Amino acid sequence: FKWEIWMGFHPISSMEHLHLHVLSADLYSPKMKSKKHYNSFHPSLGFFLHLKDVLSWFDAVPSYYQRMIKLDASQYQSLLKDGDLSCWQCDRALESMPKLKAHLQDEFSKLTTREKAKSERKRKCTNVPVSSVQAAVTDDERPEK
């Protein structure tokens, strides 16, 4: 099982030079220490601009491109300041970073367990011997003699 890797930009840069963020989708790294930092990567808050979305701006009609590149700093700042601390997978609100990170780790463990079980079922289905498949034919399915 492999989890997603996200790539994208922040509309309000924390550094002078252009840089691309590459991170795992679990979002419970020890480096994730504050609500503001977590919300800056929360996929549905709108602050994190996924690379594929930004690249699509270049393929759009010029008027759409011109509108999208005008990033309003005040609009994006309010997303970080006013956004709640909630799980990006289930939207459950949590009151602190330690509780959120424990919840995210639990969510990730559940996902890992589900995906491993799914892979195991798939593996078992593809390894069924031919004789087992033939034995499963019922009398109703046999041609009449």
Inside any domain, residue 145: no
Residue 141 has pLDDT above 50, yes or no: no
Inside any domain, residue 87: yes
- How far is Cα 84 from Cα 45, in angstroms, rounded to an integer? 9
Inside any domain, residue 111: no
Inside any domain, residue 82: yes
Average pLDDT, integer, range 119-127 = 84
User: Of residues 10, 17, 19, 50, which has the active-site annotation?
Assistant: 19
What's the pLDDT score for residue 138? 47
Residue 116 has pLDDT above 50, yes or no: yes
Specify whether the CB–CB gap between 68 and 49 falls below 8 A.
Answer: no
The CATH code of the domain that includes 31 is: 3.30.428.10
Per-residue model confidence as pLDDT tens digits over 1-31: 677 899 999 988 777 788 999 999 989 889 9
Asked about 19 being catalytic, the answer comes back as yes
Inside any domain, residue 134: no
What domain count does the chain have? 1
Inside any domain, residue 14: yes
Per-residue model confidence as pLDDT tens digits over 41-94: 999 888 999 999 999 988 888 888 888 888 888 888 888 877 789 999 999 999
Domain range for 57 is: 1-99
- By CB atoms closer than 10 A (0-12, 13-18, 19+), residue 38 is buried
Inside any domain, residue 131: no
